[in-house]
Structure 1
Amino acid sequence: MVQEGKERRYLEKDQEFLELEKRIASLEQEVTRLKEMFHEKEAIHQPIKNMAPPPPASSGETQHKSSLSWESLAPEPEETDWEHLIGRIWLPRIFIVVLLLGVIWAFKVSIDKGLITEPVRVLLGFFASGAFLWLGDKQVKQQRHALGQVLLGGAVCLTMLTTFAMHALYDFIPALPAFLLNVVWIAGGMYLAYRYRSEALAILASLAGCLVPFLVESQEPSAWLFVGYEVVLYGGFLYFALHRQYIMLYLSSSTLLQAAFAAYAIGTLGDIDILAAGSVAQYAILLTCFLAHRSYTHSQTGVLFACFLLTLLWIHGGYDTTSVQWFLLSGFLLHGFLAIYFWKRNTKTAGTFLTVASFSLAFYFTHTIDNQPLIHLVILLEATAAFYAGIRLHSRLLTGSAVVLYLFGSLSALDYSIEQVISTETALWLGLVITFYSNIKVAQAHITPSNPNIFTVLYTVHTALMLLFLTRETNALAENLSFDMKHLAVSFVWVLYAVIAVLYGMIKKDARSRLFGVILIFVTLLKVIFIDLPNVSLLFRAILFIVLGGIGIAISRLFYTGYKDKKQNTISE
């Protein structure tokens, strides 16, 4: 066996040397061709003074010389090799399925006619898988990698199906030997993936490994055994993915573990707490790998964040409120500490941990605070701080998660009306308008959007929120007043807000604020005409129009004075 192994390695090395020699010879020919074309180009551009005119060239030579240009020296764009794509890649993948279907149907006919007994079926299954393994190895050695990998993957699947038939269909072996055999087949699949450097075989082995517990029948299934097997298997595949830098295996194995947990929960309708513990273990493995080996940060960050959210769902469904609170608080403290540690060392990593910490803290507030308006106010403040930190760290994940948290808090705030002037609802609305405006200012100072009109839209939304807040606060303040006085108070507050906006624009020389103030005066006029006039008495109509008209003229005078001063300054300059 040792001698055969040495001979095989020698043969593989000889094949590698032959391929290297072929590639070198091909490169030498390409360099020679380019040199000849370059010399021909120089000959064409040599000066022809004091030289007799050359004899007329034949049409073929003229056409050949005229076709030479610097563009001809550039590499031609590679065309799609459809023959290689179809004949060597897709053809074996498709027709291996066709072959398997034919074998299955022939197998079915033989069984129906009593030609193949149950032991013979098992032997044929293992024999066929061995044949696939031999053929696949042979095809890979002959540089037919696509066909060889398909055959090797078919061998792994066929051994597992045969083992399943031995155990579940024919009762030849009990559950434990069937489980151990399947583990051996998975280890064999991993060895094939390692030997032939095939990520596809590794993904197939991970899929088969997740399915092993579902292929074994047990009278008393153990949730701890299931979770322990799946987590250990996942840790092995994750290590292999990081070692080989197989990003698709990294993503698929993480997804398959959660899918296996979900399938077990649906099938048993219980043991959610054990599955939640398994999800916590998966997150701990992902976090350790992220801290120790950041080969592809974007993918690892996405998987880590998604696993954290799924773990929260599992814990919420499997444990009581106190346990959930402790988990969320621990998650916030852990990731907050990691964010502080990486703040100066790696800003993107710090942004990732701050994202997890912000969600942990937000969910912790929802589980510990009984006052709903206060919960949303705290989330608004936390989201504002996270948004600022995300912009400082240039972390899209943290900025995006802060926006999501802010939308959750702000949209919930819109449902709360203000019954009393001093209340948590008032604090919530005040926090909404202040944080919304501060977030616009932060974004305007640090972000350059593709469409600059987005800030105009955001300022318009802020103005609408401010009007809604002032209206609700005024109605709460004027609760004991008459109907006419309520309309008069709301319109007066709107006009006052418009005057403040215009004065602020005048002082700060902010054209946007001045424009918003003028537009708000016209909006107030429309409100008075279409809403207030039909419902108030003649006396209050007169008061409304006198106040509104006087304020409009006064603001117009301010614009006139400002324009006159600006013109005089221009003339003096």
Structure 2
Amino acid sequence: MDEKRLEQLEQEIVRLKARVDQLERQPAKDPQPEPVSSVARPAVRPAFVKKTRTPVIKQARTRDEWENVLATVWLPRIGAIFAAIGAIFLFSYASLAGLISPAVRIGSGVVIGLLVMALGEFQYEKKRRDLGVGLVATGTIVSLSALFAGMALYQFYPPLLAFFLEIVVLAIVYGLMLWMRSTALLVLVSITGFLLPFLQLTDEPNVFLFLLYEVLLFTALVFAVLRLKAVKAYPVTAGIFFLALIFGSLTVNFETRPLIDEITLLGASLIAYLGLAYVGTKLPITYNYPSWIAGGFVLLSLSVVDWPFAYGLAVLFALIAYAVANRTKEAWQNGVGHVAILFAISQIPVDPLSFGDQFRSLLYALMIAGLWFIKRQEVPHQRFFGIVVYVMFVLYTIGTYETYRFNDRSYAVAVFGLTLATTAFIVLLVRTHGEAIWKKYWQIVLLFAAAGVFVTYTLIVMELPFYATLDQTDRSTTLSVAYILLSFVLVAIGRIRGTAAWRLSGLLLLSVSAVKLLLFDLSFLSLIQKAFVFIGFGIVAFIISRTYFKKRES
């Protein structure tokens, strides 16, 4: 059996050798060329591809997970708060009972606070992060409270030494915060650091030293925010510095302060704007609104210092805001620059009821037209921003006109500026009425445009040379006739251009004229004036109606 098996294997080997020799004798075939495809090769993929963030859907926590969160996260925090309150009660009892002297109370309070902070660090090393953060926060509050009590209640040391010791405690907490990477401790350092100067109980505030300290604290906190990527703590840190700027502004505004305080206030607000604009480029945030608010504080500081050349500094700050927008690629910073330009116009030193005062209206009008037609340094939704500024400009012109009218002064230059702004508004709507940006808000925009045209036209009529010589009755008649003529012109323009907005504006103004005739003019006009105005209104109404009949027949 084995011999037969061996013979079969030998025969199989012989056949395989013969097959291999046959294959080796065959000539090698040349490789066929690759067929040419008419389809273009795809472009080489770039080395950097922007990744899109996939939304993370958080699942609802189970009962066990909630129990674990309450026990490991919130319970240590609550316990830390109660422990701090209990320590205060214990010291109060010991003080009332006379068990320990004031010096011992203060010293033991500081030492206990530092020991609790050390215990928090130990717990953090044992992977009990939330418990460690809570203990560090408790120790911080106890130590700072003890140091403040030693200075305010017992006068053991002067306020300057107390402030230095509190800074040392705050520096320790700051280092622990960076090591533990705790956002909660960052918020604690922000709040306590801001309050430290107010705990010195001084009667005369030193704005220079206060703002200098707050700027240094702000710089340290900004570094911590960038180091920890603390997006949630970022607004808190900025808000704390804004409170310091508010305090400095109020002090400079209501008290006579030296020049160094005013310069420090302006410099601190500018540092806040530049620092927050830089932070916005390093954090994953969509809108860096703290930096916009900081820009407002720069303008607030310029208004508080009340320098005669503040308008020039406002223009310089606008250029800085535009440079920041170009550098950070954040278009919203252009809005800060636009507001700074408007602020600079308002701060031009001119005498009230003078030509220079009216000349500002021309500058406002040019600024509004630039917002609509200049394509550089654009802010998102700039057209709507320009409309808001235009509405405010119309209200400002109406309010200022009453002052000029009361003092019997001409207001022609300001009315000319309002006419320029209104004309720019109409040109904008005529050029862009078909764009998709207006679809949702077209009716509201038309309402603002109609109101602007109505106010502008009224002021133009009231600034005519003969209008001032008329009595009250003749003035009302003149306005009624002017409104009727304008409604006719608007409907005619709408017919020529085939635009319904013009026609509807004319019909609306004609309706307003009818209401004015019935409610106001009818009561005090003379018979000849009533006849003239009402017949004129009827003629215009018939002419407009006739044009609609012709259109329907055609």
Both proteins in one fold, TM over 0.5: yes
Please say which of residues 422-431 and 407-416 is displaced more in the overlay: 422-431
The whole-number CA distance in structure 2 between the counterparts of 1:157 and 1:310 is 31
2:347 paired with 1:361: no
The whole-number CA distance in structure 1 between the counterparts of 2:385 and 2:99 is 64
2:147 paired with 1:163: yes
2:448 is matched with which residue: 458, 480, 503?
458
Measured at CA, do residues 190 and 402 of structure 1 come closer, stay the same or move farther in structure 2, by a change above 3 Å?
farther
The whole-number CA distance in structure 1 between the counterparts of 2:258 and 2:239 is 18
Alpha carbons 2:461, 2:467 under 8 Å: kept? no
Measured at CA, do residues 465 and 282 of structure 1 come closer, stay the same or move farther in structure 2, by a change above 3 Å?
same
The answer to which structure, 1 or 2, has the higher relative contact order (CA under 8 A, 6+ apart) is 2
The whole-number CA distance in structure 2 between the counterparts of 1:187 and 1:89 is 25
Measured at CA, do residues 412 and 466 of structure 1 come closer, stay the same or move farther in structure 2, by a change above 3 Å?
closer
* Cα shift readout 1:283-314 (whole Å, capped 9, x = no counterpart): 34344445655124868742233223223333
Matches within 5 A, 1:40-79: 77-79=59-61
* Cα shift readout 1:480-507 (whole Å, capped 9, x = no counterpart): 3577755553333222211111111111
| Deviation of 1:116 (Å) | 0.8
Please say which of residues 498-507 and 370-379 is displaced more in the overlay: 370-379
The whole-number CA distance in structure 1 between the counterparts of 2:265 and 2:366 is 30
2:489 is matched with which residue: 494, 500, 519?
500
The whole-number CA distance in structure 2 between the counterparts of 1:241 and 1:109 is 40
Please say which of residues 178-187 and 77-86 is displaced more in the overlay: 77-86
Measured at CA, do residues 421 and 497 of structure 1 come closer, stay the same or move farther in structure 2, by a change above 3 Å?
farther
Give TM-score, length-normalised by structure 1: 0.72
Measured at CA, do residues 523 and 270 of structure 1 come closer, stay the same or move farther in structure 2, by a change above 3 Å?
closer
* Cα shift readout 1:184-207 (whole Å, capped 9, x = no counterpart): 212211111111110111221122
Paired residue secondary structure (1:208): helix
Give the aligned partner of residue 303 of structure 2. 316
Q: How many residues align?
A: 484
The whole-number CA distance in structure 2 between the counterparts of 1:450 and 1:543 is 43
Measured at CA, do residues 458 and 153 of structure 1 come closer, stay the same or move farther in structure 2, by a change above 3 Å?
same
Measured at CA, do residues 169 and 290 of structure 1 come closer, stay the same or move farther in structure 2, by a change above 3 Å?
closer
Give the aligned partner of residue 507 of structure 2. 518
Give the aligned partner of residue 66 of structure 2. 82
The whole-number CA distance in structure 2 between the counterparts of 1:144 and 1:441 is 67
* Cα shift readout 1:354-398 (whole Å, capped 9, x = no counterpart): 335424433433x457544433443243234235558983525x6
The whole-number CA distance in structure 2 between the counterparts of 1:518 and 1:272 is 61
2:466 is matched with which residue: 470, 477, 488?
477
The amino acid that maps onto 2:443 is N
* Cα shift readout 1:330-368 (whole Å, capped 9, x = no counterpart): 3234445556x55xx836166245335424433433x45
The amino acid that maps onto 1:364 is Q
The whole-number CA distance in structure 2 between the counterparts of 1:154 and 1:188 is 13
Alpha carbons 2:144, 2:169 under 8 Å: kept? yes
The amino acid that maps onto 1:224 is F
The whole-number CA distance in structure 1 between the counterparts of 2:550 and 2:204 is 89
Measured at CA, do residues 363 and 203 of structure 1 come closer, stay the same or move farther in structure 2, by a change above 3 Å?
farther
Paired residue secondary structure (1:322): coil
Measured at CA, do residues 172 and 353 of structure 1 come closer, stay the same or move farther in structure 2, by a change above 3 Å?
same
The whole-number CA distance in structure 1 between the counterparts of 2:474 and 2:161 is 86
The amino acid that maps onto 2:152 is A
Measured at CA, do residues 422 and 407 of structure 1 come closer, stay the same or move farther in structure 2, by a change above 3 Å?
closer
Give the aligned partner of residue 386 of structure 1. 371
2:296 paired with 1:305: no
Give the aligned partner of residue 120 of structure 1. 104
The amino acid that maps onto 1:110 is A
Measured at CA, do residues 353 and 541 of structure 1 come closer, stay the same or move farther in structure 2, by a change above 3 Å?
closer
* Cα shift readout 1:144-186 (whole Å, capped 9, x = no counterpart): 3323211111112222222223333334334444333222212
Alpha carbons 2:120, 2:135 under 8 Å: kept? yes
| Deviation of 1:274 (Å) | 4.2
Measured at CA, do residues 274 and 84 of structure 1 come closer, stay the same or move farther in structure 2, by a change above 3 Å?
farther
The whole-number CA distance in structure 1 between the counterparts of 2:198 and 2:411 is 60
**What 5-or-longer segments of structure 2 have no aligned partner?**
1-56
The whole-number CA distance in structure 2 between the counterparts of 1:275 and 1:483 is 54
Give the aligned partner of residue 16 of structure 1. none
Give the aligned partner of residue 11 of structure 1. none
Paired residue secondary structure (2:112): helix
The whole-number CA distance in structure 2 between the counterparts of 1:298 and 1:229 is 28
* Cα shift readout 1:427-458 (whole Å, capped 9, x = no counterpart): 24424533453565577546245455323433
| Deviation of 1:424 (Å) | 2.4
2:392 is matched with which residue: 382, 387, 408?
408
Point out the structure with max Rg over C-alpha. 2
Give the aligned partner of residue 206 of structure 1. 190
1:277 is matched with which residue: 238, 254, 263?
263
2:193 paired with 1:227: no
Measured at CA, do residues 412 and 194 of structure 1 come closer, stay the same or move farther in structure 2, by a change above 3 Å?
same
Alpha carbons 1:283, 1:304 under 8 Å: kept? no
Matches within 5 A, 1:141-220: 141-216=125-200
2:87 paired with 1:100: no
Alpha carbons 2:113, 2:143 under 8 Å: kept? yes
The amino acid that maps onto 1:381 is L
Matches within 5 A, 1:527-542: 527-542=516-531
The amino acid that maps onto 2:488 is V
Measured at CA, do residues 385 and 534 of structure 1 come closer, stay the same or move farther in structure 2, by a change above 3 Å?
same
| Deviation of 1:110 (Å) | 1.4
The whole-number CA distance in structure 2 between the counterparts of 1:276 and 1:239 is 26
Identity of matched residues, % = 21
Paired residue secondary structure (1:78): coil
The whole-number CA distance in structure 1 between the counterparts of 2:474 and 2:341 is 45
Please say which of residues 497-506 and 168-177 is displaced more in the overlay: 168-177
The whole-number CA distance in structure 1 between the counterparts of 2:202 and 2:470 is 75
Paired residue secondary structure (1:414): helix
Alpha carbons 1:279, 1:314 under 8 Å: kept? yes
Structure (1/2) with the larger helix percentage? 1
| Deviation of 1:530 (Å) | 4.1
The amino acid that maps onto 1:97 is I
